[in-house]
Amino acid sequence: MAKKNNIGRRPQGTPSSGRTRGTSAPVLEGDDTLVDIVEVRDQGLDFFEKNRNTIVYGALIIAALIAGFFIYQAFVKQPAEKAAMEVMQDAQAQFERDSFNLALVNPGNGGMGFVDIVDQYGSTEAGNLANYYAAVSYLNIGKYEAALDYAKSFDASGTVLPAMKYGVIGDAQSELGNMDDAISAYRSAIDAAGENFVTGGYYLNKLALLLRKQGKTEEALAAFRQLKTDYGQSPAAANADKYIAMLEMGK
């Protein structure tokens, strides 16, 4: 006769680890575990019965939220994103021509300007990007408060756009005469640029020139030296030596 598989079983002849209750027979740990499982099961069933409506309604609400999210993504957000990208093409074309007034409000061909795109499609990625275009456009036509508002509304992400956002804020603050805010914004642009020597060098040069204009000679000198050493490959570093020499001579 084949031997029974005793894997996981207690070897024959060894005492159980049960405990006695008075003079009664040993109660095995397995029996206690079974009792505990039954008790837990009964408590769970009792809890469910008492809270059936709350649990069911809660599950339905969660299911509805999940379904609503996917419906929104498929039937609202994605079509809106596509529509925003399509209507922005004419405004972008005017922007590239430096026709900033037209790009803002009336690009022609039935297209929408950046201002209307932000209002109607602001929740889309294209609508968010329209904030940046609007900020630059207003900056170029001398409406610095509007440029500042749109730049601050722009939710920048990635490795380039955050630096450009802070750069526009710095330009607008500088034009408004808020020099400390401009300096702070340019520093943020440099930090956001990271290892991008073109963008970082461009805004470091702007910072250095502004510091020099404000009479902050030591800070300006430090900025130009950093531009030469850390961003030497940047086109903006071409005149760093000239400014360093001028500042060292007190000019």
Read off the pLDDT of residues 170-199 as tens digits, 9 standing for 90 and up. Answer: 999 999 999 999 999 999 999 999 989 999
240 vs 60: CA distance, rounded Å: 66
| Per-residue pLDDT tens over the stretch 123-142 | 899 999 999 999 999 999 99
Q: What is the pLDDT of residue 177?
A: 97
* CATH hierarchy code of domain 156-251: 1.25.40.10
Query: When comparing pLDDT for 127 and 57, which is higher?
Result: 127
For range 140-149, the mean pLDDT: 98
Q: Which two tokens stand for residue 205?
A: 């040069």
Residue 47 binned pLDDT confidence (cut-offs 50, 70, 90): low
**pLDDT above 70: percentage of residues in the chain:** 67
For residue 118, pLDDT over 80 is answered with yes
Average pLDDT score, the chain: 80
Other CB atoms within 10 Å distance of the CB of residue 190? 27
Range 19-22, long-range pairs (CB < 8 A, 24+ positions): none
